[in-house]
Chain A
Amino acid sequence: MSTPVSVGHRGGATVAPTLPARRPPAPGGGSPLLELIGVSKTYGVEEAAVHALAGSDLVVTTGEYVAIMGQSGSGKSTLMHILGCLDTPSSGTYLLDGQDVSGMDEAALAWVRNHSIGFVFQQFHLLPRLPAWRNVELPLLYAGRRSRRRRQERAEAALAAVGMGDRLSHRPNQLSGGQQQRVAIARALVTDPAIVLADEPTGNLASDQATEVLAIFEAMHAQGRTVVVITHDPDVAHRAQRLVRIRDGRVLSDEALAR
């Protein structure tokens, strides 16, 4: 499989203008990029309250490749949504590149989601009425890319990079679960984000497809991107540099992995 086109170049300015320019990775660790301090997330109230996250602390430094594991319902997706600025903590602080996310307005958050973060949802979340390439094109539209031809080229390149080059015009309901997942991954990669957050990206894939997707994540990591992947598969987890285990909304263990 070829190296994905969309991750072939690297500019220093892919973070929101409100954020300071990203520091170069410091030798032996790098600077904190994603920082959760005592973050809790509670759904519902009183007896019905569910503490999806109960005071989690986590620091991910620039350029790291982190795997997150944990039982079903342990709060992994909730954690990931907060990291991706898709949801807000009930309490605690989330610092993105040193800046408190709770102080950012809607426009700044939208900019971060669009330019800095590529998110792969556990349930894909493709728009059912749009063909694959139009789904992948969406982030480019919101990035304000004006040339329709250029957007289509980039969307098609991102789809080709995940092995979907022959399914450009299929709608989600004409694709298998694994194919939909790869369209969702292509959409996360198409804006060339500095941070890739993937919620079980290989959960629906056959092992050879899973290998291809993992190769993409590894290539992205090799280019200096920060990658966080949730998985139930120990083999997938062990391709990462670091493994964080979650239980009952808390970080249970955090270990560096030998490769």
Chain B
Amino acid sequence: MSWSQTLRSALESISERRSRSALTVLGILIGIAAVILTVGLGEGAQAKVSSAISSLGTNLLIVTPGSTTTGGVRGGLGSASTLTLADAQVLGNRLDAPSIARVAPVVQRSATLVAGTNNWTAPVVGTTPAYSSVRDRRVVAGQGLTRAEVTTQAHDAVIGSEVAQNLFPGVSPIGQTMVVDGVPFSVVGELNQAGSTASANQDNLALIPISTAESLFGAAGPYADSLSEILLSARSSSAMSAAYQESDDLLLQLHHITNPTQADFTITPQTALLSTASSVSKTLTVLLVGIAAIALLVGGIGVMNIMLVSVSERVREIGLRKALGATPSVVLRQFLFEASLLGLAGGLAGVVLGLGGALALPHLISTSIAISVPAIVGSVGVAAGIGLVFGVYPASRAARLSPIDALRSE
């Protein structure tokens, strides 16, 4: 019997058992679509977290006052607000710290912002023009902070999109006036949207010149001269560890600390944040893949069931075909074709449904979803494998019976 004849009889026996074939295809389809969607959701979440973190700034190092070591010598965490503008200046020196590209000292406090009848609470960040490049932010309207504004202690502010929406709904914030702790500021620029991370909302802030901030917050704070943090950017991601080392050495030296374990500051590379967050979302992906694997298994067991029943029902047919001159290999070839065709149909439909779902889902609920090629290949492979093993193995056993034994079977 030729291949095309075998293919035709496989197609015929599929269409003769329409509802059973449809159920088989459905089982495979659901399993595959479930895998594609769940893996896609996991990978999408992972990508979203990574991009949110890298939106904090590329090659970023954050120096905060206080130590993570809990030596008995010093007081509680953060009690030593020891970072100063002088520190920032040294770190910004190319000769002393060749691996550090830019430095942005930060003085930060939460304040109530008032514009007309609107008021809104947001962190007010006193910093230098380097801030936007260190944090990888752009100014989308107006202009950013300038060196001149820092020198002249200008009462100018660059605000995040959330502040703009709440203080100046429906109008352009540029040129408007807002009042911070009773002092009027004019808004000169608006930052791009950067979304929020687990720890901070990147769009809810107002940037002002650091000199202005020191005089604004100075009277109120016990540490008038101290910085909230210093943001550093390394020249490249490969220069991260060198930048870390240089800033650590310089700060220890500036603070006259000989024992590094006694450091009164902490340097956190952003990569550490990234790897923590991505390990969290990897756990999520593993969980989702687990669920998907169970979906595939359940679908696969359904397919096995249908295949087993369908083959054992057809042992008599196999016996008859052998009695009429079919060799075991011809019988097997037909069952192989049937199982492959069902697997192929279910696989294709599952991939189409999974991809369709992956494209449609972000429009329905706010989520990001990735299209995972390994998930597609893996799930189709598993479904095809199940179909073949459970469609072909019982058929091969039946094909080895004598025709009469097969014909007599129930």
Which residues of A pack against B, CB within 8 Å?
Answer: 81, 84, 86-88, 106-107, 110-111, 113-115, 119, 121, 125, 127, 129, 138-139, 141-144, 146, 187, 191
Contact = CB atoms under 8 A, between A and B. Distances in A.
B324 A114 contact: yes
Given A141-B5, A142-B330, A146-B2, A87 B323 contact: no
Given A86-B404, A87-B404, A87-B405, A127 B327 contact: no
A110 B217 CA distance: 98
Given A87-B402, A87-B403, A146-B2, A111 B325 contact: yes
Contacts of B323: 84, 86, 113, 119, 121, 125
B2 A187 contact: no
B326 interface: yes
B410 interface: no
Given A127-B317, A141-B5, A146-B2, A114 B404 contact: no
B322 interface: yes
A160 B402 CA distance: 32
A51 B1 CA distance: 38
Interface in B1-45: 1-2, 5, 9, 13, 16
A88 B402 contact: yes
Given A110-B325, A114-B325, A141-B5, 18 more contacts: A84-B323, A86-B403, A87-B402, A110-B322, A113-B322, A113-B324, A113-B325, A113-B403, A121-B323, A125-B320, A139-B324, A139-B325, A141-B1, A141-B9, A142-B330, A143-B325, A144-B2, A187-B324
13 contacts: A81-B404, A86-B323, A86-B402, A86-B403, A87-B404, A107-B327, A110-B322, A110-B327, A125-B323, A127-B317, A139-B325, A142-B326, A187-B324
Contacts of B316: 125
A114 B325 CA distance: 4
Nearest to A116: B325
Contacts of B327: 106-107, 110
Contacts of A129: 13, 16
Instruction: Return the 10 tightest CB-CB contacts between A and B, nearest first.
Output: A114-B325, A142-B325, A87-B404, A110-B327, A86-B403, A139-B324, A86-B404, A129-B16, A142-B326, A113-B325
Given A106-B328, A142-B324, A142-B326, A125 B407 contact: yes
B321 interface: yes
Contacts of A146: 2
Nearest to A129: B16
Contacts of A115: 325
A139 B403 CA distance: 14
B326 A110 contact: yes
Contacts of B9: 141
A111 B278 CA distance: 64
Contacts of B1: 141-142, 144
A32 to B, nearest CB: 24
A254 to B, nearest CB: 25
Nearest to B407: A125
Interface in B317-354: 317, 320-328, 330
Contacts of A113: 322-325, 403
Contacts of A127: 317, 320
Contacts of B320: 125, 127
A183 to B, nearest CB: 13
A86 to B, nearest CB: 4
Nearest to B402: A87
B323 to A, nearest CB: 5
Contacts of B321: 138, 142
A139 B330 CA distance: 13
Nearest to A148: B5
Nearest to B322: A110
A145 to B, nearest CB: 9
A113 B13 CA distance: 24
Contacts of B404: 81, 86-87
Contacts of A144: 1-2
A84 B322 CA distance: 12
A87 B404 CA distance: 6
Nearest to B326: A142
Contacts of A142: 1, 321, 324-326, 330
A182 to B, nearest CB: 17
A110 to B, nearest CB: 4
A138 B2 contact: no
Interface string B74-94: 000000000000000000000
Contacts of B16: 129
Contacts of A107: 327
Nearest to A126: B320
Contacts of B324: 113-114, 138-139, 142, 187
A111 B330 CA distance: 12
Interface string B286-330: 000000000000000000000000000000110011111111101
Instruction: Please indicate which of the listed interface residues B13, B16, B325, B328 has the most CB atoms of chain A within 10 Å of its own CB.
Output: B325
A121 B319 CA distance: 12
Contacts of B317: 127
Contacts of A187: 324
A251 to B, nearest CB: 21
Contacts of A139: 324-325
Interface in B352-410: 402-405, 407
A146 B403 CA distance: 25
A187 B402 CA distance: 20
Contacts of A88: 402
A21 B303 CA distance: 49
Contacts of A191: 325
Contacts of B407: 86, 121, 125
A88 to B, nearest CB: 6
A146 B322 CA distance: 19
A116 B327 CA distance: 15
